[in-house]
Structure 1
Amino acid sequence: MPLPLPRWIAHRGGGALAPENTLAGIRLAARLGFTAVEFDVMLSQDGTPVLIHDETLERTTSVCGRVADTPDAVLFSLDAGGGEHIPSLAEAAALCRQYGLLANVEIKPATGYEVLTGEVVAREVAVLWRDAPTPPLLSSFSHEALEVARQVAPALPRGLLYEKVPDDWQTTFQRLGAYSLHCRADRLSNEVLALAREGQVPVLAYTVNDSLAAQLLFGRGVASLFTDRLDLFAPETSLYKSLHLGG
């Protein structure tokens, strides 16, 4: 089933305007008119799916340590920026459903936890969105995580995520039963775009914060762009309108 992919997806929740991977970011994206958000999900020591990008805590909190070695009681007490806490996947799901946001849930396993993370996240996503009109889009750099996600929740669409798309991407794409192809915007070749267009595969590119780059990528056939600049590309801005309405 084709997903209602918007042109712009808020990267890590609220982009650069809010602490990343927080409920404040998701709320901000919704308030600015975005209809889709992307966030990263990893497992705590207790096996709880939580929103965080790095395997370690020091960049986004005031403490050090590995997420996979930190129990929920400690993890949920930390300040993730601006007084925000690290959210659970369940909290993020409830907020996305409240605002009607399409969620791109990136499965971000800690090293050695690829299979477990794919299994737990896919199972919980299937439960949290079980009666939603539009399912979330799962994505991951980990093929292992996507493979087990497919086994656990085959009805959920999956995005194959690369930095630079390899020559054999179509074989992997078919093996994993993927829906979309995600990659770094400045490493996206015309050959890949041509093959994706031929196979009717939506291509999503990250992370685009420049209007000229966005215009060129849309012109080349990219379906959606992830951005940190929610202030520039919110639907009500003049820049957004000039890119999409030809103004």
Structure 2
Amino acid sequence: MTARQGPGPVLRADGLVRHFGGLRAVDGVDVEVPPGRVTAVIGPNGAGKSTLFHCLAGAQRPDAGRIRFGDRDITRLADHRRARLGIARTFQVVSVFATLTVADNLRVGAENRAGTRATARLFGLPEAGRADDAVEDALARVGLTALRDVPCGRLPTGTLRLVELGRALASRPSVLLLDEPASGLDDAETDRLRTLLRALADEGLAVLLVEHDMALVFGVADTVHVMAAGRVVASGPPERVRTDAAARAAYLDPATGDGGAS
């Protein structure tokens, strides 16, 4: 499977605010997810990472600020409509259809993106009739071809993480939003994930990674944003963030550069 080639649209949030009662879970956040790059968001529990992620994915609406995808304002666009535009996501808590096979779970992603045949042709999306190609490509990409006919209910959590990633890739997105994708993976699976994410970005995909695994983040990200108390307190390339005083105070162990919270 090949990610969309050439410069794609940028997903951008400007001045994003999301509050719950008196708590500002996201407080004036700016973030950009450009094509061909891996952008990571890290921070301690309660920093606002998940709320920011949900706003970008369309599961929650911000109380202020704007989200743009290319030249289109998608601030109030529902999550399923964002998916049709090419914004795919995974979930912090594994979400698959347990009674369906691995291949059929991936087919859900391919066919959801395709929508109607007329829409698919208009926007150059994979039609339902071509969904099988997208599924087979995604299975190979995440290393699950041998398990294609196994019901997901029989598989361990680490493998189900890869099923979720494969389902997102089967939609042939231009933006990939990943919510703690390394959770439940062993070291070998995490290494394969790192290699895959780097390859996808190099092919032109825009990747946003919200993750607690600092070895993965600092091993694959081009830009790292550190959140604390709903705000971005540090941003930049991994090597700069490692030595940033605000980043260390908020999240990073100053002795090791590793995450100070799970």
The structure where strand makes up a greater share of residues is 2
On whether the aligned pair clears a TM of 0.5, the verdict is: no
Q: Which has the higher contact order (CA 8 A, sep 6+)?
A: 2
TM-score (norm 2): 0.36
